[in-house]
Chain A
Amino acid sequence: MSEPTQTGAQREELVLNMGPHHPSTHGVLRFVVHTDGEIMRKAVPEVGYLHRGLEKLAESQTYAGYMPFTDRINYLEAMFTEQAYAMAVEALLATEIPPRAEFLRVIACELNRIANHHITLGCITMDLGAYTPFVYLLRERESINDLIEALCGNRITHNYLRIGGVAYDVDNIWLGQLESYLDHFEPIINEFEALIVGNEILIKRMQDIAVISRRDAVAWGLTGPNLRASGQDWDVRRDIPYGAYPQFEFDVPVGPLGRGQAGDCYQRFLVRVEEMRQSCRILRQCLAKLPEGDIKAKVPKMIKAPKGESYASVEGARGEMGCYLVSDGGKNPYRVKWRTGSFSAMSIIEHTSPGLMIADLVALVATLDVIAPECDR
């Protein structure tokens, strides 16, 4: 690739191997980066380091037995994978879920969404060099982990949902704790904004960087916050309503918000900050409206789904989390296929990267919020 210049010096591309163990490749992920000095020609993601065969594993598990495996698809949003899977099975079984269980699922998912955005926003700031906001957000996430631990006994891989409902009920103590957490956390979002969101250096690093147009975002199948930051108003919770979501009022933040243009890194950052606020709003409504009743529908101990197929999708923290399930009428799923937000986000990196600087690649990967295990499965 060397091309002679006027001075006779050779111009060569520098091929950098970013990863698999590199501080800013979240999880185990590798980029082959072709650079000219600090400017990138292109960055090609190499995935597959974390392939654990989670789709194939389903074929040897019972329907109920596969639930803990779904947690491992993405350790940051375990509740969403659980719910997508539970909904897919429930659609096959045609089970009615008790309203209290639906509310508890919403509570668990929205808590999980906030916890996930803590990590995402923290990692973005950390990748841009500010370490302290990450620690603050991690501190807040600890409280959520405590809450979820009290809810179901697990902090990361929750295994809280069951086919037909949820595993454990909540009592008034836990609801009181959740309410005090919300009282505590809502001002913290403002404090986070004062600390870092309006920081001029941070804005300079992200504004108008790695712009993904709305057209590209739709074409590459981006979903969730990444899609909404590009200006496409789409949220599965609102547009394909599921669970208890139709009963809540919430806004869907769509870029451009504040400074910058739709689709740049800063918008992807802002959309997530705003989503934490909306999640708090949904949780407050949950607390006010939580109905009494059963937490689990009657489902047989050994589930045998009727022959057929179903697809269920939920609005995960990284976009549409979809589960496609095929049943041959036996006690194991015949095939499970996952559709995750990280996979499409990963695929757009190669398209967006030319012309960026190495430091911008870090910002792009961080704001797209790709999680290698979710991509590889």
Chain B
Amino acid sequence: MEFIYNYLSGLELGPWATSILFAMAVLVVAAAVFLVALTIAGFLVVVERRVAGRVQSRIGPNRVGPFGVLQWLADGLKLFMKEDLVPAQADGPMFRLAPYLVMVGVFAAFASVPFGMLLIASDLNVGILYILAITSVATVGILMSGWASNNKWSLLGGIRSTAQIVSYEVPAALSILSVVMLAGSLQMSGTASSPGIISSQGGWPWDWYAFYNPFTLVAFAIYFTSAVAEGNRTPFDLPEAESELVAGFNTEYSGMRFAGFFLAEFANVYLMSAIATTLFFGGWQIPAVSLAAQAASFWLRLVGLAIFVAKAAVLCFVVVWIRWTFPRLRVDQLMSLCYRYLVPIAFACLAGNAVYLLVIPAGSTVDNVIHWITTGSFGLLVLVFLWRVRFHIKRSGDRLDFDLLARGEKGSFDPAIQARPYGKFRRRHGKESA
């Protein structure tokens, strides 16, 4: 944005023309960011459904477009053409406004998501603070939708959601604070001259803030948990707990407005993954390439974009995986998890991090060794976990296929059976005797 403003000022068109052109440029950029966020959200819907399909040993949507990637467009179009229903007893204006507030809260945050080195709509110097603040608007929207629907289930969902988001912002913000302390900046991306959160990390894993010391690793875990909770995702999806509250705050919504809530939820998943990538996993940094080199080369910045998207995609996948694995907590357990465990631990991490910064000089041997140990132990943990996953996937197997059995391909079937493969029902030889 500064770049566009400087360019327009350089043209010397006079203050009015510059302002109008700048406003138009802002609109174009905003539309672009919105469309990118929308596409990401839509794509994520398909990814979620495909992953869920694999997790549950079924296929998932694969009809619209290659591998079903355009399914979200078909669903979106369908929802847009549905009747936009406002219940008779609902508070009309509030009911209509609520989904837009939720969407604004999520999509506006994308303005400060650093996709690449210079690929950020607005690299504010208070970037992370801006994101924390603007996403809170969504809470108002959710509460409004719950209240305006004039439905008791919606109301309960809205209240639960608000309580949850407000509570979990505390540990999330505390764990973010650890990173801000390390970077000494609130700026998301930054450059070599004005260091931001990403530009003060490095390309290699041991240069990332997640593995800076054990405290930041725990802070990452807390941030991730809180972000999942803020996004109303399983195991914290109480506001829309299907088996309890029907569909929670969006019970009464249909058509386009429902699509708004839906896409906002998925955009939020990407948003939290992107923020985690930025704060803890080195963002767009390319290993072994200096910041100056990245700033100079367009292709290197493209590689950086790919790295960023890949890291965020891995985190998105983990979020989806968690959703299709865990049951959901109860509302009081959710609150006690937040206030009795996450908040104190986040405080301890913050304090521990501060002590670490005071005691161990940055760049010293001890500092580096701790980076490596943290990275190594985390890597080992991931490897052991993946090995367990593979073990269980192998053991649970697939559905028992009687056709395969009949052909003698697996199992303990008598080969004599091959003559008569198992198929549709056939009357057995012992006919019903009179």
Contact = CB atoms under 8 A, between A and B. Distances in A.
A311 B56 CA distance: 44
B329 A191 contact: no
B52 to A, nearest CB: 8
B400 A204 contact: no
A330 interface: no
B395 interface: yes
A192 B152 CA distance: 36
B412 interface: yes
Nearest to B410: A180
A280 interface: no
Interface in A150-206: 150-151, 153, 162, 167-174, 176-177, 179-181, 183-185, 187-188, 190-191, 194-196, 199, 201-202, 204-205
A360 B58 CA distance: 30
A16 B58 CA distance: 36
Most B CB within 10 A of own CB, among A201, A294, A295: A201
Contacts of A130: 234, 325-328
Nearest to B401: A143
Contacts of A150: 422, 425-426
B326 A22 contact: no
A202 B58 contact: no
A143 B241 contact: no
B419 to A, nearest CB: 10
Contacts of A202: 327
Given A136-B396, A142-B399, A204-B329, A183 B412 contact: yes
Contacts of B326: 129-130, 199, 201
Most A CB within 10 A of own CB, among B427, B429, B432: B432
Interface string B30-51: 0000000000000000000000
Contact of A180 (B242, B246, B400, B427): B400
Contacts of A128: 243, 327-328
A188 B396 contact: yes
Contact of B399 (A139, A173, A183, A191): A139
Contacts of B431: 168
A143 B58 CA distance: 15
Given A179-B412, A194-B392, A359-B244, A132 B429 contact: no
A168 B428 contact: yes
Contacts of A190: 395
A23 interface: yes
B428 A169 contact: yes
Contact of A24 (B238, B243, B395, B402): B243
Given A130-B325, A199-B327, A205-B330, A176 B413 contact: yes
Interface string B314-341: 0000000000111111111100000000
Contacts, number: 152
Given A168-B428, A202-B327, A358-B244, A180 B413 contact: yes
Contacts of B324: 131-132
B293 interface: no
B329 A205 contact: yes
B425 A132 contact: no
B433 interface: yes
Nearest to B399: A139
A188 B327 CA distance: 20
A359 B414 contact: no
Contacts of A296: 432-433
A125 interface: yes
A170 B429 CA distance: 8
Interface string B122-162: 00000000000000000000000000000011001000000
Given A128-B327, A201-B326, A204-B333, A184 B411 contact: yes
A125 B330 contact: no
Nearest to A146: B402
Nearest to A169: B430
Main secondary structure, interface of A, reads helix
A38 B245 CA distance: 11
B216 to A, nearest CB: 25
A357 B332 CA distance: 9
B300 interface: no
A362 B417 CA distance: 47
Given A135-B57, A295-B430, A191 B395 contact: yes
Given A129-B237, A136-B396, A199-B327, A143 B402 contact: yes
A191 B392 contact: yes
A195 B59 CA distance: 20
Interface string B215-249: 00000000000000000001101100111111000
Nearest to B424: A149
Contacts of B333: 204-205
B192 interface: no
Contact of A167 (B152, B241, B399, B432): B432
A129 B245 CA distance: 12
A187 B395 contact: yes
A131 B48 CA distance: 14
A194 B57 CA distance: 17
Nearest to A358: B244
B325 A132 contact: yes
B325 A173 contact: no
A129 B434 contact: no
5 interchain residue pairs of minimum CB distance = A169-B430, A129-B328, A24-B243, A130-B327, A135-B56
Interface of A: 14, 16, 22-24, 38, 125-132, 135-136, 139-140, 142-143, 146, 149-151, 153, 162, 167-174, 176-177, 179-181, 183-185, 187-188, 190-191, 194-196, 199, 201-202, 204-205, 294-296, 301, 357-360, 362
25 contacts: A16-B152, A23-B246, A38-B156, A128-B243, A132-B324, A135-B56, A143-B402, A150-B422, A150-B426, A153-B427, A168-B432, A169-B428, A176-B412, A176-B413, A177-B413, A180-B413, A188-B396, A191-B396, A201-B235, A201-B327, A204-B333, A358-B156, A358-B244, A358-B245, A360-B330
Interface of B: 52, 55-58, 152-153, 156, 234-235, 237-238, 241-246, 324-333, 392, 395-397, 399-400, 402, 405, 411-414, 417, 420, 422, 425-434
